[in-house]
Amino acid sequence: MRFLKWPAVRLASMAPPARARVAAAHVVLCAALCLGLAACSGAAGQASAGHSHTTRSSAPPSPAQPSAGPAATAAVKAMWQTFFNGAVPIPRRLGLLQNGQRFASFVHSEEKTSLGTLVLSASATVSSVTLHPPGQASVIYTILLGGKPLAKNLSGTAVYTGGRWQVADTTFCSLLRVAYGKSSHAIPAACGS
C-alpha cells in the first residue's frame, strides 16, 4: 500500500510476531490519524459520487467560543475529540479543521481507501490543553482503537479563528507526512512543500 511507511523502524530485522504487531499498529495509526476525516460519511452506505460535500445550514451561526480560560480549554478538548471521531460526518469534521475546505478533495478521495473502515472505531482522548495567547493551544492526545490506546502522548496545535477552535492545518499536514512520507506525491497541495 502506498501510504505504509515506517522510517524509524526496520521491520525486516524484527522477529515475525513483533513485525506483525508493529505493522498492524502502524496501519491502524495511519488510518486513525491520517484518514480519520475520510472514514465515515454522514450516513452508512451513502454514495458520495456526484454529490456536493458542502453543507449549508439555515440555522443561525452559533455564538463564538471562548478564547481564554477554563471554558476555552473545554472547547478545545471537545473539538479535538470530535475531529478524531470516525462516527462524525465528514462535512462537520472538515469544519473543525483550519482551512478544511482546502483539504476536502483529498479527504473525499481517501474515504474510498481500504483502510477507511478501520477508522470507524478510532477515537481520541485529550490529556492536556495549554492555551497560548493569541489564539493557539497545545494539545496532548491519545488515539484509541476499540477503546485501547494505540498511540499515546501525541502533540498537536489548535487555533482560534472566526470565533471557533479548530485543529491547525499544520498538525493535520504533519500527520499526513508521517503516514505518506515527507516528500510523497500523495500529500495534498494545501500542505505546501
- Number of other residues whose CB lies within 10 A of the CB of residue 84: 26
Domain ranges, ordered by start, for the chain: 15-40+65-185
**77-115 tens-digit pLDDT:** 999 999 988 888 889 999 999 999 999 988 887 777 766
Provide the pairing of β-strand 148-161 with 164-167: antiparallel
User: What distances in angstroms separate CA 89 from CA 74, 123, 136, 173, one per listed residue?
Assistant: 22, 14, 25, 20
- Please choose, from the candidates 48, 3, 58, the residue with its C-alpha nearest in 3D space to the C-alpha of residue 26: 3
Of 18-32, 82-96, 135-149, 163-177, least confident by mean pLDDT is 18-32
> Which comes out higher in pLDDT, residue 119 or 109?
109
141 φ, ψ (degrees, to nearest 5): -145, 165
> Which comes out higher in pLDDT, residue 61 or 10?
61
- Separation of CA 68 from chain center: 24
**123-150 tens-digit pLDDT:** 899 999 999 988 999 999 998 888 889 8
